[in-house]
A = this chain, B = another copy of it.
């Protein structure tokens, strides 16, 4: 047992931190300005695309050897285990837009991992290469407005074989990333066989953005934020036809693929949340040392101190739990590690939302404005608590696994 990262990981962290200091943090303001110019408001989503400063920094990141760091067990990725990649996610999470600079953005990472594990050579060639090169972006179209889709069995979009094609019909929303005009690939989950056993009904299929019948109806705001240029789209699939070879892995394998991509994605999300929480705690400390209502610095007030202490405790605990889950995934695989993965899904976004909320409180009304980035950070954390199923679904699963040794129930 050892709580220190290896020299290799420490070195990567140092290099990534140096890049952030030199290229990311000083450009935050510029990045926001460029977004504004692009048309940040949700009604302008059709103008969304690459942000100039990001495009400018990508080659620098590549040059610095900080490109495609994810993707364990593949020669295409950074050659890092989940445990080794995790602290890098935390660092990138400190400025969420930076992930794209390193070609480590969700959902592209998950989509590339899916293609790497389950794609054919042709699929890899067509989609994975431009994705790895950062030339296009992609999205994952799973959640539906009309059913409780945290239970994947409820999914109702149909994927029907007709000759050499599949025909897709249904409605999705929260298809994150679809707002970006560079997003060329939609990985769509739907039902190929409603009569099969529950976990063999779903399939995943690759749909190019420009396929006729695929309509992006609108972008959905998150607490009033547009998340430009990424966006969360509502997508109508109306008799969308794609070649039969676009199916991933084969009919009925959708659930299996979904399970496979969940683990690493959650590590990434959780570590990013931890990065966000660290930033919020820093802001909380700094603000508390500046403001002096009623003749006493906020940082000298007991309630503020309690929250700073609790924030540190919650962040450190969440980080350790997440790193341990990554270690378990590396050692025993996603399936055996599913209780660990479920636990961090509950813990990390909830922790981040709480720490950010306390930071908001220390900032007073400034906290809920957009001047300090805290209200946006809160909205993101609150959203992540719901992404991949709400806390309750995971708590339920954790409890079942915990109860299992005392019962004969098949879990």
Contact = CB atoms under 8 A, between A and B. Distances in A.
A346 interface: yes
A350 B40 CA distance: 31
Say what secondary structure dominates the interface of chain A: helix
A283 to B, nearest CB: 10
A222 B368 contact: yes
Nearest to A308: B399
Indicate how many identical chains form the complex.
Answer: 4
A70 B7 CA distance: 31
Given A5-B1, A143-B365, A223 B375 contact: yes
Interface string A358-399: 001100111111110001101100110111001111111011
A201 B49 CA distance: 53
A365 B41 contact: no
A334 to B, nearest CB: 16
B407 A382 contact: no
A43 interface: yes
A74 interface: no
Interface in A294-353: 294-295, 298-299, 301-306, 308-313, 316-318, 320-321, 323-324, 327-328, 331, 339, 342-343, 346-347
A387 B148 CA distance: 36
Contacts of A298: 148
A118 interface: no
A224 interface: yes
A123 B41 CA distance: 41
Nearest to A286: B406
Contacts of A365: 143, 173-174, 383, 386-387
Contact of A150 (B293, B367, B391): B293
Interface string A1-23: 11111100100000000000000
A223 B368 contact: yes
Contact of A368 (B83, B289, B327, B382): B382
Given A1-B323, A343-B316, A285 B402 contact: yes
A145 interface: yes
B346 A309 contact: yes
Interface string A144-186: 0100101100100000000000000000011000000000000
Contact of A317 (B154, B317, B406): B317
B406 A3 contact: no
A393 B224 contact: no
Contact of A302 (B304, B323, B376): B304
Contacts of A267: none
A291 interface: yes
Given A2-B2, A312-B402, A306 B303 contact: yes
Per CB-CB distance, the 3 closest pairs between chain A and chain B, nearest first, are A224-B224, A302-B302, A148-B293
Given A317-B318, A361-B392, 17 more contacts: A1-B6, A1-B323, A2-B327, A143-B365, A222-B368, A289-B403, A294-B396, A302-B303, A302-B304, A303-B392, A305-B395, A309-B394, A309-B399, A312-B339, A316-B321, A317-B347, A361-B385
